[in-house]
Chain A
């Protein structure tokens, strides 16, 4: 086995997926959360499972099937975003500065309107007078679905590298 050489068609799709992910990261970094919501399908399924350090060979998965930092659908995202828009959402007031780096985008499969892709994400976060950022890194396993000609996020699982979170809270969408 080796990597798959991209066809012309795949190259174009890859370029479009990258454009989507960069656009999405930009909205999140700028906290344009209402616009970000428009990038989600109505049946979005979104999970950030708790990662657990386990022995190699343990047949229990390292990503919890029960515990999630975030386990969201469209309604819960709307509720969270409505809260952030209030004046007194202290977690993001003053807002943290974030920078998302999205790389290593690889298309896994294409099935009708749906594209399955994986990418690496590094999020740097600075609050207040901090000179050193805290970071969150992981792999995102996404399903994008084409609706009215444009890609939307239908499914995302964020597979964190952290087991113990170094950020004092998690008020970012990953």
Chain B
């Protein structure tokens, strides 16, 4: 199948994107274009580290879960009999049938339902049906399940890349690790996934939620007005009196250099004298310590009311205190925005809880999380509704031929009253409040970097 032609207009938009972003402008077409979608599949998702799952989802040998690279390339995420994490292309080497027919489960072997070839959970072909009559000389080493070029994990988060030339995962995450640590390692024994990820199909380009979770605090007062007025928020937001919705400090951090470019982080904290720890009940604060992180990171986690972040290309997290009345708590959600089609994304949403919290606390944390940040949650329901129309506008001929742009000017020049935060202890370019859109500009700047790594195909008239 021939690749969809890149239009000359869209090609120009991609080539000039760095300039456009510097001027605070983004061509909306890039959010819904068949040729752009195909380029993203090749150059963003097939060529970079992407999230597969959390180690705690497959704690025992034989545990498996079906996962996707780039939204639809099928893989088995499993723990082999030696206890090692494996990521295997889910397609039988004989005719290509899928081997893993469930979303999750436990098995030592995957047996193909078509002609019965059998693989162990290292991806080795260990059984060929009627071998001695039919496939006498087969070399099983030639027919192992394909694997990503590299698989590695950080703070329990397992990533894979199909590209043997990718830098190490350590390098890809770079200084973003400082913020991952702050969010995943302040519980002395880490975080674990609770239950199974929710999956919803959203009619919006994957890049939209990625940047929203990378630092769009600007939308909160409008999009979530009903949740705020309804008081569906943890009491920790009212503990202090600060200029930013009750908070003493709101900071925004993004990265402008490779390899971190495209990752971003934002936080809201209250004064030194308070220890909200994102809103987790005081009775579990003894699960937290500075054992695995620096005192500075621990102190920021201690004062945090909300943290969000995006790890390029398509993994976001939010750790925040929400709730209703007495049922309030902190929680951590991981969300992966999986591209499915131009202008269409599948949200995968996991809830994580501190591993050492008692079961009854885990249940409570989980309940507050699902009431807030799943597509049925009081907060997220509205996020998904306000993105209506982006896909339609982006796919329009007007967007392509007239090159309609959207504004990313906040924080540029004298546009807003934001400044570089001189005393911020963490890495990256940090601003002292949330009135800036650098997180978005640099997310798209990184996207351009990836898309133009090789020459773009010729544009079609």
Q: Which residues of A contact B (CB under 8 A)?
A: 48, 50, 52-55, 58, 60, 64-71, 75-76, 79-80, 82-84, 86-91, 93, 128, 163-171
Contacts and interface: CB of A to CB of B under 8 A. Distances in A.
Nearest to A67: B195
A169 B384 contact: yes
A120 to B, nearest CB: 21
Contacts of B196: 50, 52, 64, 66-67
Contacts of A166: 201
B226 A88 contact: yes
A9 B222 CA distance: 55
Contacts of A83: 226-227, 229-230, 232, 378
Interface string B336-353: 000000000010000100
B382 A91 contact: yes
B10 interface: no
Contacts of B223: 90
Q: Which 9 A-B pairs have the closest CB atoms?
A: A66-B195, A67-B195, A170-B376, A86-B226, A91-B381, A83-B230, A89-B226, A88-B225, A79-B324
A71 B378 contact: no
A169 B226 contact: no
20 contacts: A52-B103, A55-B102, A58-B102, A64-B196, A66-B366, A69-B198, A79-B230, A79-B324, A79-B378, A83-B226, A83-B230, A88-B222, A89-B226, A90-B382, A91-B381, A91-B382, A166-B201, A168-B202, A169-B381, A170-B375
B203 interface: yes
A76 B327 contact: yes
B241 to A, nearest CB: 25
Contacts of B325: 75, 79
B199 A82 contact: no
B327 A75 contact: yes
A168 B226 contact: no
Nearest to B103: A53
Interface string B72-103: 00000000000000000000000000000111
A50 B201 contact: no
Contacts of A91: 381-382, 384-385
Contact of A76 (B106, B225, B324, B375): B324
A67 B200 contact: no
Contacts of B200: 164-165, 167-170
B388 interface: yes
A164 B201 contact: yes
Nearest to A172: B376
B333 to A, nearest CB: 12
Contacts of B182: none
A70 B373 CA distance: 11
B63 to A, nearest CB: 10
A168 B208 CA distance: 14
Contacts of B203: 168
Contacts of A80: 378
A60 B195 CA distance: 12
B188 interface: no
A89 B327 contact: no
B121 interface: no
A65 B196 CA distance: 10
B446 to A, nearest CB: 27
Contacts of A128: 388
B103 A69 contact: no
B436 interface: no
B370 interface: yes
A55 B105 contact: yes
Given A90-B223, A169-B385, A52 B229 contact: no
Nearest to A53: B103
B59 to A, nearest CB: 13
A168 B324 contact: no
B374 interface: yes
A76 B368 CA distance: 10
A54 B201 CA distance: 20
A82 B367 CA distance: 19
Nearest to A78: B324
B20 interface: no
